[in-house]
Amino acid sequence: MSSRIVNLNTNPCKMCMPLGAVNAFYGIARCMSLLHGSQGCSTYIRRHMATHYHEPVDIASSSLTEEGTVFGGERNLIRGLDNLIALYRPEVVAVATTCLAETIGEDVQAAVRARRESRPDCRTTVITVSTAGYSGTRYEGWFRALHALVSQTAMDPAPHAGVNVVTGPVSPADTRALKRLLREAGLTFTLLPDISDNLDGGCGGTYSRLPEGGTPLAAIARTAGARATLELATFVPEDASPGRLLEQQYGVPLFRLNLPVGLRDTDAFLTALEELGGTIPAGEYEERARYLDAMVDAHKHNALGRAAVFGEPDLVYGLTRLCCENGLLPAVAAGGADCPALKTALEEEIRPLAENTPSARFSVLNFADFDDIEAAVAENDVNLLIGSSDGRRAAHKHNIPLVRCAFPVHDHLGGQRIRVLGYAGAMRLLDAFANALIGSREASFRTEIYNRHCGGKPFGLFPERLDTGCAEPGSPDARAGALRAVPEKKDGKPGPSVVPAAARAVAGKHREAAVNNADKSATHPCFSASAARTCARIHLPVAPDCNIVCNYCVRGFSCPNENRPGVTAEVLTPPEALERFLRVRERMPALTVAGIAGPGDALANFAATTETLRLIRREDPDITFCLSTNGLLLPLYAAQLADLGVSHVTVTVNAADPAVGARIYRRATYMGMSFQGEAAAAMLISNQLAGLRLLTDAGIVCKANIVLIKGINEDHVEDVVRAVKSAGASVANIMQMIPVRGSAFEHLPLISNREHAALRRRCEKLLPQMHHCRQCRADAAGLLDEDQSYMLRGPVPASGAAPAAEAGCAAEAERAPAQVAVAPRNEVTEHAPVKVAVASRSGIVVDQHFGAAGQFHIYESDGLSTRLLETRRVGGNNLGCGMCGRGPLPEGPEDAEQGGGKIARALEAVADCRIVVVMRIGDSPSRRLAERGIAVFSTYDGIDKAVMDAVLARRDNIVAERARDAETV
Amino acid sequence: MDAKAEILSRYNAKVFKNRKDHILRVDRDTDGAQEIAANTRAVPGIMTNRGCCYAGCKGVVVGPIRDAVTITHGPIGCGFYTWGTRRNKARAGEDGKNFIQYCFSTDMQEPDIVFGGDKKLRRAIREAVEIFQPKTVFICSTCPVGLIGDDIHAVAAEAEKEFGITCTAFSCEGYKGVSQSAGHHIANNGLMKRIIGSNDTPPAAKFAVNLLGEYNIGGDGWEVERILKRVGYEIVSIFTGDGNIEGISRSHLSDLNLVQCHRSINYVAEMMKSAYGMDWLKVNFVGLDAICASLRGMAEYFGDDALKQRTEEVIAEELAAVAEDTAFLKSRLEGKTAALFVGGSRSHHYQTLLKEFGVRTVLAGYEFAHRDDYEGRSVLPDIKEDADSKNIEHLNVEKDPARYRVFLSPERYGELKQHIDLEEYRGMIRDMPDGSYVVDDLNHFETEAFTALLKPDIFFSGIKDKYVLQKGGTLSRQLHSYDYSGPYAGFRGAVLFGRDLVMGLYAPAWRLVVPPWKKQAGGTQAKGDLSHA
């Protein structure tokens, strides 16, 4: 299960496997590649490599067509090989597969074997490698190619004194430098691969169609007898590691080192060469000294840098280490592929440096696209981008310089000449980093210095924590703001004299606050859709009481499972809230917002709210404060909220007309008096609108939430949007009402998604709309789409022992199973909650076969909300509530048990459930479940979604069946 | 032995049999038209320059529409490779939407292949709608999608209902057809079925046209737009460079379709003729003579005297403005020879411009054209459908009675057809000099061999050939992407094109290839050196 919660890759930070394979094969002498698949793959990859290397890149294709996908591609492959060999006379042909060949299940090895047998005279060696684009990235493709070469070449294991040196994707110029170093060290070596000449050739008026440079096959054959293998790749997958293969099959000792980028890793590499009997060339000592000199020279620039490093594993790691040893904080380090080991290594590398930096924030991303990277760049005040030219759009958008030092470079020249390895490579990088930083400072430093010292701004080492605008230095916004500030100060014009000085000061403060607060919206998941995917928030449930009664609301104070506003697992005191905040902040580096969203009303519990915010502000001057309220008390507290540093407030406004409001609100309690009906609504509405004005005047960013209630306010919503807009709200969030059991509106029909979307679109014309609301709990924590609040709670009693608690859901828990148990199948009301058994090992995704499941998670769901009741071992003890009992669960084959026995026990385990949700299930168990009236739902999906889908699908079936029955009657 | 025979002699019997029909030497003395084989399967293993169906659909036709979010449904490679690589320029419209700089992919992983990727696609659309709020989402599928059976059309239909947007799926799996051409057709069908005719806002100007087959590479479309606007035309839509959904949706209300790239867009032109009665005119805005002829043909079509007069005024002014530049360029280019190997139209279009500069074409070929692009549309009835073309849906468009308009009377139509290219494309071969070569689907080996035999001074091709040629001493300019330059269309584009040729041919490096010590030792100069200096 990947860590990626996003399904749309927006601007990828990785490339596909076949590209990696043919890229590596370009380091083999007289080798041509053929991609087995449709011809687009070859064409695209040739295009991409040629643009980077500025060299001919010739990759053949088996040109599979629709016919090939139906009848198999063997004929095309063999014809392709014949033609390629006849035209080019290569020594080696490397066949790499593509998504197409892998998906239709081509047996490439068999085809190649058959061809060899029918053409005994053919002297060309054919190497095959499996590289489906969906199984990995360019990085894995590169190593799989090398692994295939080593495993398929006829080896000569006679021992010799040579050393094998394996590299991941490095540039031709770096390869050349590496070769020279090895030569000068007096070692005999085989470089795997050696792309130095084939992808960086000269222009001499003649052109050879075959890549004549590179490592010959004969040298690869002798790698089996080498003294040792040096693998300069930290994150190479074991099953694709040529060094590991040589060690396991031929006993060649393997030494795995980091790519020699920067001082420490180059030192380690040279040490290894010395240990293998090489002599470190004198020139290297001098180069090292010069690099150190450069490090000292450049530190004053680099230490002001906050870099974002992105790309492929080894290089990102090497560049990150180089940055760290130069005091240049990699505030963002991102791998495009899914490589958790890289993430851990990066974090360990960056943390010590971050601790010595005033602004210690940094973020490490795994499996990231540029959308993720850009969000992290904005959040971490990055001022330097390091990676491939694919970062150029981010660079342009955020006005940050980009140092291009990785494949691909498509917009600059010199991709083939990139130098990062060794002391000399490090020196070049260091200069490039420092010069990029100097270049962007050069453009703005005069204004910055003037404003810092003569602009009346607060001063400190922690610029982003000062109470001034926190726009990135150098960004157009910051500069524009700064320039505006200068003339104001210079001529010291007092402004219109009717405004008293104190009021001017306040207005000035608010203007500044407004700029600051608006900037904070960029990292507030609710106010910025892109932040929603990268920035986390925590809701602190410190406000249980409410001063109004809404017909759609039921608050719940001890419910761990329902997912809606007004619900929390527990109510916290302010000190507890602080404690939770600190705990979460530690765990989630992406945490940007602390909010109070009930479960009641934040202002109706103003003492607790104030205390909580003060406690947190003392610990974290930086975090964005946000709260949500019904707005009744806003006229009283708006100014205090601004003083507390609240930057964002959400006011729920469901009506602008008291007549409509009277149908939504039952009661409002204000200043010790209770109001009902239209009076309550009228007072609430006028306070809400006045409150919004006060808040926005104070520079606070306001959002209006509107609960869309079918038959009550659906036609009125546009009026509400107009009203909140004129009161200053900057965004509206129209939410579908969740019909909560026990509320007055329990039975109201739901608004369809379509109507909802249409309404949002209409209102969009009036005011920006929030489209990504998840209607969170009052104690939600994490990303909007990834609530982790359940991990923060103390143990929750299992369902059987649930106390008869305040709110709906716990009480239902006791009621629900009984209902289902007595209801015969065809009388089941389609809305009754049902028990659902889920086969899952991870507890997150439905990932198990029915027969193989060692446990079932038993959920209860009515199609609106879902809760976990317990986790049952198949044929074993009840593990209790899965949430309390989280942790590794014993699982696996039940030893000598017959399959049938296991199925029987699985059936027994789910006997009281109405639905079984599995990844796969056999015919027989499926039938046996159907006989017992249990519906089966096969899927591979997150559990919550799967359970919901299953319940709704079953409901549809029941309704349809009933309709059919009615017809036949 | 002529070049054709010499090259074919290097092939084995099977390849020989295939390739011999794809190569011809223009011979004006032959009785009847010369015939060439085209749009057939590429020979595996011989390094074709062709791309795939997905490239034709997503990369060429659908991708340049600036305000649609186009999601590539598949593993990461395909989407990545079409990300900003075609140099089709766009600027945001009034709504601020321009997604040209973005790449959207479902980034399918192994489990998606095994268990189906439609769920992921569904969620990806939701995310795209929430974050980018496009009016239109396009889905383009890649090879594995067709094989694992994801029903992308059903997902699109669901998304339309759920989000109230237009969502159109294109089943353009890479293996379909024999080249990009299949993808063009699929994209044309999708636009016709789903977008064209969905908005009845009429054009404001008296003379309204659509510009079909103009992808705004390096800004070509903007230069053409400048000229047409000067004359007084309203361009309702451009298919599809810097195109937008609104324009395309109301393109059926224009008076005339102008077809620049016949290969990629003739399907839409024909379908709009069937459905709405709109005529189309083959134009060419590359090369001064061709531009003038196109503008005059348009004025002729509308038959308006004021328009004709304005056309002549604009032509005179524009020609005068570039006269000095073109004269200089011609003085530097006269007598050179060129070979062209580009997609499906440009090899023809650029010959006009080269001729104006005094550059003779020695070889031209198309990567993915059909026979009609070589021989003219008159051969259409003779082209037999094969297994590969049958697999691509042919839309039978019916007359839309409410929107069907006939602009010309049958008499006027017949009269005009005599002297302008009204619904006619006469193909490349007829414009080529006697003795030059025409090669369909030129491959790596043939590029090298023909260059050695014909010794062109410039070889216009793409990035895949560029370095092969330049390593051998022959200047190569990319006519797909214009080598970071452009526009080359229009009056001003002609000057830029000539400037780029001169800078390439007279680059000092060519003269320095052979070191002095080799010259003294009697070493031969590189060919590139001698011919350019």
Q: What is the residue-averaged pLDDT of chain B?
A: 94
B-chain CB neighbours of A772 within 8 Å are: 130-131
- Please, which pLDDT band fits residue A822 given cuts at 50, 70 and 90? very low
- Kindly calculate the radius of gyration of chain A based on its CA atoms and give it in whole angstroms: 33
> Under an 8 A CB cutoff, do B103 and A55 touch?
no
Share of chain A above pLDDT 70, in %: 85
Token readout for A74 is 């063997």
Give the minimum alpha-carbon distance from B371 to chain A in angstroms, rounded to a whole number.
20
Residue A796 in any domain: the answer is no
Closest by CA position to B256, among listed B228, B223, B281, B289: B281
> Under an 8 A CB cutoff, do B115 and A58 touch?
no
Active-site annotation holder among B66, B184, B349, B370 = B184
Question: Is B338 among the residues known to form the active site?
Answer: no
pTM of the entire structure? 0.70
**Range(s) of the domain holding residue A962:** 803-968
- Please, which pLDDT band fits residue B156 given cuts at 50, 70 and 90? very high
Which of the residue ranges A327-331, B399-403, B492-496, B518-522 would you say has the lowest mean pLDDT? B518-522
Q: What per-residue confidence (pLDDT) applies to B176? A: 95
| pLDDT tens track for B302-314 | 999 999 999 999 9
Given a cut of 50, whether residue A890 has pLDDT beyond it is no
Q: How far apart are CA A500 and CA A716, in angstroms?
A: 41
Q: What per-residue confidence (pLDDT) applies to B408? A: 94
Token readout for A565 is 């506003």
Residue A152 in any domain: the answer is yes
CB nearest B467 (choices: A54, A65, A82) = A54
A572 Cβ contact partners less than 8 Å away, ≥ 6 residues apart: A540, A541, A542, A580
E strands within A79-153? 92-97, 125-129
Are residues A572 and A709 located together in one domain of the fold? yes
A-chain CB neighbours of B15 within 8 Å are: 83, 86
Given a cut of 50, whether residue A479 has pLDDT beyond it is no
Residue A269 in any domain: the answer is no
Are residues A52 and A167 located together in one domain of the fold? yes
Handedness of CA A868, A870, A871, A875 (dihedral sign): negative
Token readout for A408 is 């691909």
Are residues A58 and A207 located together in one domain of the fold? yes
Query: How many other CB atoms are found less than 10 A from the CB of residue A851?
Result: 18
> Under an 8 A CB cutoff, do B81 and A38 touch?
no
Residue A516 in any domain: the answer is no
- Please, which pLDDT band fits residue A626 given cuts at 50, 70 and 90? very high
Q: How far apart are CA A698 and CA A684, in angstroms?
A: 21
- Tell me the average pLDDT across A11-28: 97
Instruction: Find which of B471, B474, B478, B484 to mutate to test the A interface (most A CBs within 10 Å of its CB).
Output: B471
Q: What per-residue confidence (pLDDT) applies to A519? A: 78
Q: What per-residue confidence (pLDDT) applies to A828? A: 44
Q: How far apart are CA A182 and CA B398, in angstroms?
A: 72
Are residues A416 and A325 located together in one domain of the fold? yes
- Tell me the average pLDDT across A686-703: 89
* Secondary-structure percent of chain B, ordered helix, strand, coil, rounded to 5: 50, 15, 40
β-sheet bridge partners, residue B237:
B210
A864 with A870: CB under 8 angstroms? no
DSSP 8-state assignment for residue A521:
G
Residue with tokens 């400072």: A441
- Please, which pLDDT band fits residue A882 given cuts at 50, 70 and 90? very low
Q: How far apart are CA B17 and CA B40, in angstroms?
A: 13
A-chain CB neighbours of B388 within 8 Å are: 65-67
Give the minimum alpha-carbon distance from A949 to chain B in angstroms, rounded to a whole number.
12
CATH number at residue A782: 3.20.20.70
Q: How far apart are CA A427 and CA A44, in angstroms?
A: 34
Given a cut of 60, whether residue A860 has pLDDT beyond it is yes
Q: How far apart are CA B407 and CA B415, in angstroms?
A: 14
Q: How many CB pairs under 8 A join A and B?
A: 273
| pLDDT tens track for B231-260 | 999 999 999 999 999 999 999 999 999 999
Are residues A322 and A231 located together in one domain of the fold? no
| pLDDT tens track for A420-449 | 999 999 999 999 999 999 999 888 888 888
> Under an 8 A CB cutoff, do B109 and A134 touch?
yes
Q: How far apart are CA A600 and CA A550, in angstroms?
A: 11
Are residues A648 and A737 located together in one domain of the fold? yes
B160 with B167: CB under 8 angstroms? yes
Question: Is B86 among the residues known to form the active site?
Answer: yes
Question: What are the angstrom distances between the C-alpha of A369 and each of A945, A968, B74, B76, B125?
Answer: 25, 55, 16, 11, 17
Token readout for A487 is 């003339």
Active-site annotation holder among B55, B128, B182, B489 = B55
- Please, which pLDDT band fits residue A462 given cuts at 50, 70 and 90? low
Per-position b or e across A34-49, b if 16+ CB within 10 A of its CB: bbbbbbbbbbbbbbbb
Given a cut of 50, whether residue A311 has pLDDT beyond it is yes
Residue A465 in any domain: the answer is no
> Under an 8 A CB cutoff, do B81 and A84 touch?
no
CA closest to B125 among chain A residues: A8
Are residues A192 and A324 located together in one domain of the fold? no
Given a cut of 70, whether residue A829 has pLDDT beyond it is no
CA closest to A77 among chain B residues: B44
Question: Is B66 among the residues known to form the active site?
Answer: no
A347 with A341: CB under 8 angstroms? no
The total domain count for chain A is: 4
Active-site annotation holder among B52, B182, B208, B339 = B52
Q: How far apart are CA A808 and CA A567, in angstroms?
A: 10
- Final residue of a structural domain among A221, A256, A291: A256
> Under an 8 A CB cutoff, do B76 and A757 touch?
no
Are residues A826 and A763 located together in one domain of the fold? no
B-chain CB neighbours of A19 within 8 Å are: 77
Q: How far apart are CA A1 and CA A152, in angstroms?
A: 32
> Under an 8 A CB cutoff, do B391 and A104 touch?
no
Give the minimum alpha-carbon distance from B111 to chain A in angstroms, rounded to a whole number.
9
* Total residues belonging to chain B: 533
Give the minimum alpha-carbon distance from A80 to chain B in angstroms, rounded to a whole number.
4
Residue with tokens 């299960």: A1
B31 three-state secondary structure: coil
CB nearest B108 (choices: A38, A76, A134) = A134
A-chain CB neighbours of B446 within 8 Å are: none
- Tell me the average pLDDT across A947-959: 84
Q: Is the peptide bond between A193 and the residue preceding it cis, with omega within 30 degrees of 0?
A: yes
- Tell me the average pLDDT across B411-439: 96
CA closest to B123 among chain A residues: A7
B482 three-state secondary structure: helix
Instruction: Find which of B175, B390, B447, B471 to mutate to test the A interface (most A CBs within 10 Å of its CB).
Output: B175
Q: How far apart are CA B333 and CA B500, in angstroms?
A: 11
Residue A873, amino acid: R
> Under an 8 A CB cutoff, do A62 and B45 touch?
yes
CATH number at residue A207: 3.40.50.1980
Residue A136 C-alpha from the chain's centroid: 17
Given a cut of 70, whether residue A492 has pLDDT beyond it is no
Are residues A932 and A871 located together in one domain of the fold? yes
Residue A263 in any domain: the answer is no
| pLDDT tens track for A522-573 | 888 888 877 777 888 899 999 888 888 888 887 777 665 566 787 787 888 8
Residue A34 in any domain: the answer is yes
Q: What per-residue confidence (pLDDT) applies to A805? A: 36
CB nearest B178 (choices: A11, A59, A65) = A65
A-chain CB neighbours of B145 within 8 Å are: none
Which of the residue ranges A46-55, A468-477, A728-737, A751-760 would you say has the lowest mean pLDDT? A468-477
Return phi, psi of residue A804, to 5°: -70, 95
Are residues A848 and A916 located together in one domain of the fold? yes
Return phi, psi of residue A311, to 5°: 140, -140
Question: Is B52 among the residues known to form the active site?
Answer: yes
Q: What per-residue confidence (pLDDT) applies to A560? A: 58
- Final residue of a structural domain among A446, A473, A506: A446
Token readout for A311 is 């790309």
Contacts 24+ apart (CB under 8 A), B7-16: B7/B446, B7/B449, B7/B450, B7/B453, B10/A87, B10/B445, B10/B449, B12/A82, B12/A83, B12/A86, B14/A79, B15/A83, B15/A86, B15/B43, B15/B46
Are residues A126 and A172 located together in one domain of the fold? yes
CATH number at residue A901: 3.30.420.130
Are residues A807 and A777 located together in one domain of the fold? no
> Under an 8 A CB cutoff, do B113 and A103 touch?
yes
A860 with A813: CB under 8 angstroms? yes
Residue A579 in any domain: the answer is yes
Q: Is the peptide bond between B456 and the residue preceding it cis, with omega within 30 degrees of 0?
A: no
Range list of H helices, A791-884: 808-822
> Under an 8 A CB cutoff, do B76 and A51 touch?
no
Give the minimum alpha-carbon distance from A44 to chain B in angstroms, rounded to a whole number.
6
> Under an 8 A CB cutoff, do A45 and B174 touch?
no
Q: What per-residue confidence (pLDDT) applies to A493? A: 37
